[in-house]
Each structure stands twice: as C-alpha cells, then as structure tokens.
Amino acid sequence: MIIPYEKLEPDTLVALIEDFVSRSDTCSSDETPMSVRVERVQVALRKGEAFIFFDPEMQQPILAPRSEIPASVMKAHRSTLED
C-alpha cells in the first residue's frame, strides 16, 4: 500500500527521509549536508520519482525509488487514483 507523503506529519516525514538517506549513503563518501539530501528526496516524492509504501512483511513503511516499488503495489495505487 502506497502511503501518500502529504498525509504524514512533517516531522514524521523528515525522520523517515533522514533514516532512508543515512542508510543509503553508508558506503558513500558524499559530504553533502543532510538537509540537502532530505530536500532531494522531498523533490523526488513530489515528482513521483519515489514513494513511501507499507511493507506487510517488515511491518514498516519503506521509502524507495519508483523503480524499486513492487509492480503489484504500483498497480493497486494507480487503481485507487482512478476511483
């Protein structure tokens, strides 16, 4: 299930993004400030290049690029937008 980022409290959204950015950049020597990386993810969410979805197996929200969202989740999301 896709979780619309607009429905999250701003602090919750930033915490989720910071967690995502800090985990995805562990192998990188990128010195870009956290605030800039958070803004990049927020832009990706607004453009539909990234989504937050609930993973029932892990029982937690996952932030991921569109290309990594399971096809079944994207299909279900599109059908809710058409209703």
Predicted TM-score (pTM) of this structure: 0.82
Q: How far apart are the first and last CA of the chain?
A: 15
Residue 27 has pLDDT above 60, yes or no: no
H or E segment and range at residue 65 = strand 60-65
Mean pLDDT of 53-64: 90
Joined tokens for residue 79: 């059908």
Domain ranges of the chain: 2-82
Mean pLDDT of 63-83: 85
Bridge partners (DSSP) of residue 63 are 52
pLDDT tens profile 29-47: 668 898 999 999 999 999 9
Q: Greater confidence, 76 or 11?
A: 11
**Contact at 8 Å (CB) between 19 and 39?**
no
Superfamily assignment of 2-82 in CATH?
Answer: YehU-like (1.10.10.610)
Q: How far, in whole angstroms, is CA 5 from its chain's centroid?
A: 8
